[in-house]
Amino acid sequence: MSESDSNYWKENIRLLKILLSIWFVVSFLMSVIFVDQLDTIRIGGFKLGFWMAQQGSVYVYVILIFVYLKMMDRLDHKYHHEEKDILSEESSDELNNTQS
Amino acid sequence: MSLQVLTYIFVGLSFAVYIGIAIWSRATSTKEFYIAGAHVSPLANGLATAADWMSAASFISMAGIVSFMGRDGSVYLMGWTGGYVLLALMIAPYLRDFGKFTVPDFIGDRYYSQLARMVAVVCAIFVSFTYVAGQMRGVGVVFSRFLEVDINMGVFIGMGIVFFYAVLGGMKGITYTQVAQYCVLIFAYMVPAVFISILMTGQFIPQLGFGSEMTDALGGGYVLDRLDGLHEELGFSAYTSGDRATIDVLFITAALIMGTAGLPHVIIRFFTVPSVRAARKSAGYALLFIAILYTTAPAIAAFARTNLLNTVTNANYETMPEWFRTWENINLISFEDKNGDGLIQYVADPEVNELTVDRDIIVLANPEIAGLPNWVIALVAAGGLAAALSTAAGLLLVISTSISHDLLKRNLMPGISEKQELKFARIAIFFAVCIAGYFGINPPGFVAQVVAFAFGLAASSFFPAIVMGIFSTRMNKEGAVSGMIAGIVFTASYIIYFKFINPAADVSTNWWLGVSPEGIGTVGMLINFALALLVCRYTAEPPQDVKDMVLDIRIPGKPGS
């Protein structure tokens, strides 16, 4: 593994740690373990803990994946993996076109 | 037009679309049959994954479960969505880069072991059959209720349709029919939800509606406050609070999440896109499309619960509306006038309670209960069928590839040509459809129980093996195989004991650490991780070419060896 590859992997792991920590806090702490404490806060007709468990957590999941997508695009760009990826896509396209 | 005619039109039109797509997207190579030639765009794959994932259980049963369980129902909402974060961040991009056809492919190659491959094949087939039986049953129920054909006839028609596009088009046919099926099912789910939200709160977004105030005609006040009040009057615990122990909720949620991330029919969908970036992106789209239904479900749950309690509580049995009779006729509602006063007492105390309502009614009868027009009800029938058929097709493909590719090509008969492999794949899918149909017609009594099995096994076998295979270069076959076997044996024994050998003992006081069989997959997963890491410390490192492969799949664009 080249130095550039191993740096790419380290940055990727750091990003995963951050995003998965948010994922853990939202899923298990806010929506399960501390749900009753959060329920003392009200937003409109919702108790906050109940809302996190039935709505908020799912929204956060969607946001997390799109943030990951964006950050990885940036990382791929920084380490020039983006170009390789597009090239391999095109070459496989050509391969398949000639086959069919 | 009558409800039945409308239903025939809606269902018939949707079926015609599926068949048309099947003819248009025939598969000619194993690559097309197994992974749609890896040519599916991220958006199309996101739509297909969402339809693949959302089964008859999600469409028909989930809102009902939440409606009857209140806050405790959240385990399904989070459990069946949270796994996509793990899929997108820890599994899908790397397995896409690995670039083969199946999950056992990865397990077998990464752990350089036919034993590991076989353990994965057996798990994949078992998990998929468990799941598919429920889908065929869902098809039968929708047919018998809305088209008034015999339930067996309904299963046969469903089998015929799935057989047609799965055998002809393989993954390619399945993918594009799933795209159409997503559109049908989400439209069918949202229309009644929006209608009911407007009727009850004047708010047309259901996700906001169930946190709003009810219209003045209905007496005002927040929906959930009203519901909590009604619950208290009738002796139920408040809708927005939970009955289950926190530790159990925690373990069930985790088991469903890890199970989702380890289910082969979901993972293989990410093999169908052209690049690593496309795999990440389609995971995002998939969850977005799933979230539309999953955040609407709790709104439907709360509205339907309020409607139901308002309609039946202390009402005269003789004056019940027509839908009550219809569902009573097929035994999804039953009333027993225990105190002989002619009124319906629907309360928490089982001694006094007179009404039993099946949870599946919540979605299927919701439009009728809310008095929505017939075309909405017909739409729900087409949507339920789309949900069941799309998931069934995805599962059948996993079974077929497990047999033709993992078992025959990669193990027993490595010499077969691509043409022969493709033929075996089609034969395997034919038998899989027949077996699934058999279970649909003669449903084993344990369908509901085995769902815990499917998720528990996926969580305790695939999830740790895949994650360690990507994130550790040191993990070897001894570690992975012993971890998988220990995880499966532990999880399966616990579930079999409480669900089959001694069901009477299945109460919280007997559970180990207070963890129910539904949540035990989490413990199995932890055992898998712990044992694998321990064994791998004391056994030989994996060969260099395997280590290189792991390093390669971490970097986009470098195909695995």
Q: Per-residue pLDDT averaged across A16-24, rounded?
A: 97
pLDDT(A96) > 60: no
DSSP run (H or E) holding B333: strand B333-335
SS3 B20: helix
Q: Are strands B333-335 and B355-357 parallel, antiparallel or unpaired?
A: antiparallel
First to last CA, chain B: 61
Burial call B324-361: b when 16+ CB within 10 Å, e when fewer? beebeeeebbebeeeeeeeebbbbeeeeebbbebbbbb
Q: What residues in A contact B210, CB-CB < 8 Å? A: 45
Sign, CA dihedral B464-B469-B473-B476, equals positive
**What is the pLDDT at residue B197?**
93
A27–B559: do the CB atoms touch at under 8 Å?
no
Give φ, ψ of B191 to 5 degrees: -55, -55
Distance between CA atoms of residues B28 and B45, nearest Å: 20
Distance between CA atoms of residues B191 and B357, nearest Å: 24
pTM score, two decimals? 0.90
A53–B78: do the CB atoms touch at under 8 Å?
yes
Residue A14 distance to chain B (closest CA, Å): 12
Q: How confident is the model at residue A1 (pLDDT cuts 50, 70, 90)?
A: low
Give per-residue pLDDT as tens, A41-75. Answer: 998 889 999 999 999 999 999 999 999 999 999 99
Distance between CA atoms of residues A39 and A52, nearest Å: 10
Burial call B229-251: b when 16+ CB within 10 Å, e when fewer? ebbeebebebbbbbebeebbbbb
Q: Which site among A22, A25, A35, A61 would you substitute to test the B interface, given the most B Cβ atoms closer than 10 Å to its Cβ?
A: A61
- DSSP for A25-82, written as a single string: IIIIIIIIITHHHHTTSEETTEEHHHHIIIIIHHHHHHHHHHHHHHHHHHHHHHTTHH
Distance between CA atoms of residues B472 and B537, nearest Å: 12
Burial call B302-320: b when 16+ CB within 10 Å, e when fewer? bbbbbbbbeebbebeeeeb
Nearest by CB to B284, which of A12, A69, A84?
A: A69
Which residue has 């006063």 as its token pair?
B341
Q: What residues in A contact B246, CB-CB < 8 Å? A: 32-33
Q: Which of B387, B394, B495, B427 is nearest to B137 (CA)?
A: B387
Distance between CA atoms of residues B369 and B413, nearest Å: 57
Neighbours of B552 (CB within 10 A): 18
B556–A46: do the CB atoms touch at under 8 Å?
no
Distance between CA atoms of residues B464 and B523, nearest Å: 12
Number of domains forming the structure of chain A: 1
CB pairs under 8 A between A and B: 147
DSSP run (H or E) holding B357: strand B355-357
Cβ contacts of A59 within 8 Å, gap of 6 or more: B291, B295
Residue A33 distance to chain B (closest CA, Å): 6
A72–B280: do the CB atoms touch at under 8 Å?
yes
| Residue A83: closest C-alpha in chain B | B557
Cβ contacts of B212 within 8 Å, gap of 6 or more: A44, A45, B201, B202, B203, B222, B223
Residue B331 distance to chain A (closest CA, Å): 30
CB B457 within 8 A of CB B488: yes
| Residue B31: closest C-alpha in chain A | A96
Please report, in tens digits, the pLDDT of each residue of chain B (561 residues total).
788 888 889 988 998 898 888 888 888 888 888 888 888 899 999 999 999 999 888 888 889 889 988 899 999 999 999 999 999 999 999 999 988 888 998 999 999 998 999 989 988 888 888 788 777 777 777 777 777 777 788 888 888 888 887 888 888 888 999 999 999 999 999 999 999 999 889 999 999 989 898 888 888 889 899 899 888 888 888 888 888 888 999 999 999 999 999 998 899 999 899 989 999 999 999 999 999 999 999 999 999 999 888 888 888 888 888 888 888 887 778 888 888 888 888 888 888 889 988 887 888 888 887 788 888 888 888 898 888 888 888 888 888 888 888 888 887 888 888 888 888 888 888 888 888 888 877 766 555 566 667 888 899 999 999 999 999 999 999 999 999 999 999 998 998 888 778 777 777 778 888 888 888 999 999 999 999 999 999 999 999 999 999 999 998 875 543
CB B171 within 8 A of CB B34: yes
**What is the pLDDT at residue B447?**
55
Which residue has 């998929």 as its token pair?
B128
Q: Is B316 left (phi over 0), alpha (psi -120 to 50) or beta?
A: beta
Domain range enclosing A93: 3-99
Distance between CA atoms of residues B371 and B357, nearest Å: 19
Give φ, ψ of B148 to 5 degrees: 50, 35
Q: Per-residue pLDDT averaged across A13-38, rounded?
A: 94
